[in-house]
Chains A and B, each alone.
Chain A
Amino acid sequence: MPRAQALQLARDGVSDEVIRELKTLATRGDSTALAARIEILLSDASLEPAARERALETGTFLLGALPPERKARQVLRQISQLEPQTWVWLEEGGHRVSVPLYDPAAAARVSERAWLAREAEARFSNKLGTTAPELVDDLARASLAERSGVISAIAHAPAAQLLHSKPSILAALDQGVAVGWYAAEVAARTYDSELALAAIEHAEPREALDMLDALGDRLAPGDILPLLLHSLRSPALASHSLFVLARLAPVSPAALSQIWQELENEENGGSAAAALARLSSPEAAMRAAAVTVDPDRDDALRRRALLALCLDNGDAAQRHLQLLTQSLGDSSLGQKASQCAGR
């Protein structure tokens, strides 16, 4: 049915009243009473299906924010079996394809994961940073929801305490235990270079990328640089690392030098060109132009230098680009320069 019509049915006065009631119970922190009220909703035929689903979804989120009492667990489990009832057209699609307006079951699963996360947070709060032998095993076994809880615990724990477990984490990583995510989180929290290095080696690429991003803003150039140099050797991390290097380059000659060095690297050169363009400095533009016109240089390198000019909207780069289109003429490189100058 049309979304507007479904929403009208869902937002009727009765369900507004029910939702107010649910919120009152939640505000009291009475998980069991809230669960009992939601259970009644499950079989309340007096409500429009859309209104019932809206109330169930709201109640489910409210329940997820309270402690997981037995009754609450039982009700959430029931809700997690429900199929969506209210399907609405994606009106803006113009083709009347329907999607569920509410999905209480999906909401229930999210709330159950939130419980798991909170339980894990409580469980790990005291353990993190200890040298308890089972800590590493527990971390390796943690589900994604439990990891969320651990990450919350890390955020609250004193940095010094977290580092107590560093030797056992590093040893575990060396042995191939899957706790790279934990090393990345702790490194981001504690700015510990050794853990960060281990995370670059062992964490999933996205976890390592997020860590580098966070550390790039917090560590001094001298501390982050070795990490970035290391990550430049990882195909999954190199490109982003070059952008982090570009953030450091204005204050770190070593970072700038590394970007130029990477321009010569076949794998990373394109990203290095983009990093140089981000600097948008007349000096970089001049040097890129010099490389581009130098016939003794490798063709691929000249193209990457040209790319740096192409991506740089600064006046200096654009001036060099115009000159290059003339000097390179109708050569393959000249045609590419013309394409760049044309945009």
Chain B
Amino acid sequence: MRRALAVLAMLVAGMAAPAAEGACRLNGASISNPDDPTCRDAMFRYVESATTSNDEVTLGYPVPLPLDSLTPVDGFRTYESLKARHQELAVMLDTVEAVPVGQSGMGETIVAYRMGDSDRTTPLGDPEPAVLVNGTIHAREWQSPEVVTGLMEMLALRSADGGIGQYLSDNLNVVILPILNIDGFRQTQRYPERFSADPDQPRDGRMRRKNMRYDGGLVDTDLDNTADNFQGVDLNRNNEHGYGQNNSSSTDPVSLINRGPAIASEPEILALQAAAALAPAGQLRLYVDVHSFSQIYFAPLTGNSRRDELTVQLMQRMRAVTNFKYRDGRSTASGTGNDAIGTTADYFAYEYQVPSWTLELEPLNGGQDYGGTASHGHSGFILPDSEIARVRDEQAQTHLLGFYRQAGPPNVVAVEVRAASDGQVVYRAEWTGNGGRRSLQVSTNMALLPGAQYRLWIAFSKPMRWRDENGEMQPFAGQTVGADSGSARLEFPGQNVASLPLRIDRAAVWNMAPGGAPDGYHRYADDSLSVDFTLPANVAERSAQPVMLVLDNADLSGQKLDADPVTPVSWTNGHWSGFENELGEEGDIGGLDCSISFFAATDANANPPADSPSCKPAAPTSTGGGGGGALLWLLPMLAGFSFVSARPRRAT
């Protein structure tokens, strides 16, 4: 009804008066006459409908007013509600930990939330990777705290879903700082309809961008005390790497982009760095700073070619989730670092060499995208109430994919083969952690008999497929990997027997119920598949012979298998490490997994052959025999195998 009355007031106004215009002399992001009362003391009000008043600016939709509600609403929540929501998640769930990381200028505790299980290791015993999301660095961008809170809600809701959410909880340390610029944000919520200065460069009140500190003091919260309304530091120019460079910040304290007196001079920036330490910083694989508006990923390219390529790949995957309506804003000065301007995204890109960006949320152009007005180019900071729920949901989905991908490439973790006739396990192997390296523990290795039927169960380290709300297997939004993706076959090295394709490119093979082998999932829904096969009758006619499983698969974000599970994948200097293709080459692409082989023999009690086959070329060795020895005879055959001919490009 408050909104209704505002509408009413505007609609009945029939008298023409000058439209809102200011008297500030704009100088880029600054103002030349900040002490001029006609500029400094000017006050304006946003209204919904066409107005001709001097001090009103038409939005064309109801002016959003913050509402008290812990649960999401069609609109924007108050700071107190958002904070209560974050703390509710932290107190109620053991998978959410609230950690104070600093104090704002006005004494508010800045809290980061660590989301994920309480240990810092994956189920395979490796250190958990981490991602960091920052929200509300710019006070007026109300989309940001809603979207970041939406991420928290999504992760909390999914943390025990048995699928992708649980996988993230077990394998990824998600650090979220939902409201960094608390003082500024609260100031915007004190005056949700009012702003000062000039419609062409609105400042305090609803349009405050900066924090509330200046020259050792604090901006007072009374909008009508105008003397300090222009003050404050732009926290997104206060960071190392680009600080003061590229003419994109200012020492002028009244500038919108005042960078502050020194690098990281502001308590909020120190709090962000403390939040990164929760990851810990060395485990980071992604940083996102959520802003609005203009619908774009501003991704700094640092000149580290592998990091830059992986950043772009991840960005494209995430952009695809919303059908590329968010734009590609990668920087252009790759290799020089010359376009850094001291944003937090610059800081994390250069300092930690991880994919890092400033995500500018909707709208693309401004309020006119939703039937409103351009409002001097600034209405985009005021998303209509009616749009935020959708934006929240879209971004939750987008980041679910991004987090999943950065949690690491998939690898095979266990394989089992059972005889169809009696269900006897004839082969069982599992990769287990061993002080930073893994080893394949083969617990059962009996002969497979020519002509017999078997069920093969293969488990991966993560959920590999996505299902819609009806349980139907579908590609994740904007992605291509679906039920019909992936291939597998059995190879019979050294024998003149054609390879045996295994039909894993269908939804029916994936296991969505618990229980493990032979028909259940391993740790998470759709992390394993079961497929039947009949061993060709003409294998191992004279002696026990190896049977090599060749797997070509990708996770639901399109990331291929780590072909050598011995070395766990990690992130080093801007790229994956321990991520090999089938030839054992490290890179960022992965490849075919040939790490599993069993054997065939006509005698059920036969011993396995001494050597195991491998996709890898033989390493020079003087000791033949012994477990895992290279098979020199395999080398000439490699060129004939399709999996070798599809050798991936080596990343540099």
Chain A contact residues, CB within 8 Å of chain B: 2-4, 7, 11, 19, 23, 26-27, 29, 57-58, 61-62, 64-66, 84, 88, 90-95, 97, 99-103, 105-107, 109-111, 113-114, 117-118, 121, 148-149, 151-152, 154-156, 185, 188-189, 204-206, 209-211, 213-214, 235-236, 238-240, 243, 270-271, 273-274, 277-278, 300, 303-304, 306-307, 310-311, 332, 336, 339-340, 342-343
Contacts and interface: CB of A to CB of B under 8 A. Distances in A.
Interface in B355-392: 358, 360, 365-368, 371-374, 376-377, 380, 385-386
B28 interface: yes
A93 B360 contact: yes
B7 interface: yes
A148 B10 CA distance: 10
B103 to A, nearest CB: 10
A95 B16 contact: no
A19 B118 CA distance: 64
A103 B378 CA distance: 12
B69 A240 contact: yes
Question: A-B pairs with the 3 shortest C-beta distances?
Answer: A26-B16, A106-B368, A64-B50
A204 B62 CA distance: 15
B58 A205 contact: no
26 contacts: A2-B28, A4-B26, A4-B28, A23-B16, A61-B52, A62-B19, A92-B209, A94-B246, A94-B248, A94-B257, A94-B343, A95-B298, A99-B294, A100-B374, A103-B374, A107-B374, A114-B49, A148-B7, A156-B8, A209-B67, A209-B73, A236-B73, A238-B71, A239-B81, A270-B92, A339-B90
Contacts of A4: 26-28
B16 A243 contact: no
A214 B71 CA distance: 20
Looking at chain B, what size class is its interface with the partner chain?
A: 35 or more
B69 A307 contact: no
B5 interface: yes
B60 interface: yes
Nearest to A218: B1
A343 B8 contact: no
A97 B296 contact: yes
B51 interface: yes
A233 to B, nearest CB: 14
Contacts of B73: 205-206, 209, 236, 240
Contacts of A271: 69-71, 84
B4 to A, nearest CB: 4
B360 A148 contact: no
A121 B84 CA distance: 41
B94 interface: yes
Which interface residue of A4, A110, A118, A211 has the most chain B CB atoms within 10 A? A110
B18 interface: yes
A103 B74 CA distance: 27
Contacts of A93: 294, 298, 360
Nearest to A337: B91
A107 B28 contact: no
Contact of A65 (B52, B60, B298): B52
B26 A7 contact: yes
A143 B99 CA distance: 48
B618 interface: no
Interface of B: 1-5, 7-8, 10-19, 21, 26-29, 48-52, 58, 60, 67-71, 73-75, 80-81, 83-85, 87-88, 90-92, 94, 97-100, 109, 111, 200-201, 209, 234, 236-237, 246, 248-249, 256-257, 294, 296, 298, 329, 341, 343, 358, 360, 365-368, 371-374, 376-377, 380, 385-386
Contacts of B21: 11
A121 B10 CA distance: 13
B360 to A, nearest CB: 7
Contacts of A188: 1, 4
Which interface residue of B14, B21, B84 has the most chain A CB atoms within 10 A? B84
Given A99-B365, A240-B67, A185 B4 contact: yes
Contacts of A277: 84
Given A94-B343, A239-B71, A339-B91, 13 more contacts: A4-B26, A29-B14, A84-B374, A101-B377, A103-B365, A103-B368, A106-B368, A114-B11, A155-B5, A239-B81, A274-B81, A336-B90, A340-B98
B1 A149 contact: no
B7 A307 contact: no
Contacts of B92: 270, 300, 303-304, 307
Q: Decide if the interface of chain A is mainly helix, strand, loop or mixed.
A: helix
B377 A100 contact: yes
Contacts of B67: 209, 213, 240
Given A106-B368, A148-B7, A213-B67, A339 B99 contact: yes
A117 B69 contact: no
B276 to A, nearest CB: 19
B68 A205 contact: no
Contact of A3 (B11, B97, B200, B236): B200
A149 B11 contact: yes
A97 B360 contact: yes
Given A23-B18, A103-B366, A311 B50 contact: no
B49 A117 contact: yes
A91 B28 contact: yes
Contacts of A90: 294, 377
A155 B87 contact: no
B49 A236 contact: no
Contact of A343 (B51, B80, B84, B98): B98
Contacts of A336: 90-91
B458 to A, nearest CB: 37
Contacts of A304: 91-92
A155 B48 CA distance: 17
Nearest to A97: B294
A277 B1 CA distance: 27
Contacts of B58: 61, 107, 110
B69 A239 contact: yes
A209 B161 CA distance: 31
A3 B198 CA distance: 13
B329 A97 contact: yes
A118 B11 contact: yes
B116 to A, nearest CB: 15
Contacts of B84: 270-271, 273-274, 277, 311
A274 B88 contact: yes
Contact of B11 (A66, A92, A152): A152
A307 B98 CA distance: 12
Nearest to A144: B371
Contact of B74 (A19, A114, A204): A204
Which interface residue of A64, A95, A102, A205 has the most chain B CB atoms within 10 A? A95
A106 B360 CA distance: 22
Contacts of B111: 343
A151 B7 contact: yes
A299 B52 CA distance: 58
B377 A88 contact: yes
A214 B6 CA distance: 14
Given A107-B373, A151-B7, A210 B50 contact: no
Nearest to B26: A4
Contacts of A332: 94
Nearest to B255: A92
B18 A65 contact: no
A109 B87 CA distance: 43
A205 B389 CA distance: 12
Contact of A339 (B14, B27, B74, B97): B97
Given A94-B341, A97-B294, A239-B69, A3 B16 contact: no
A27 B16 contact: yes
A239 B16 contact: no
Contacts of A204: 74
A91 B377 CA distance: 11
Contacts of A84: 365, 374
A341 B374 CA distance: 46
Contacts of B98: 339-340, 343
B14 to A, nearest CB: 6
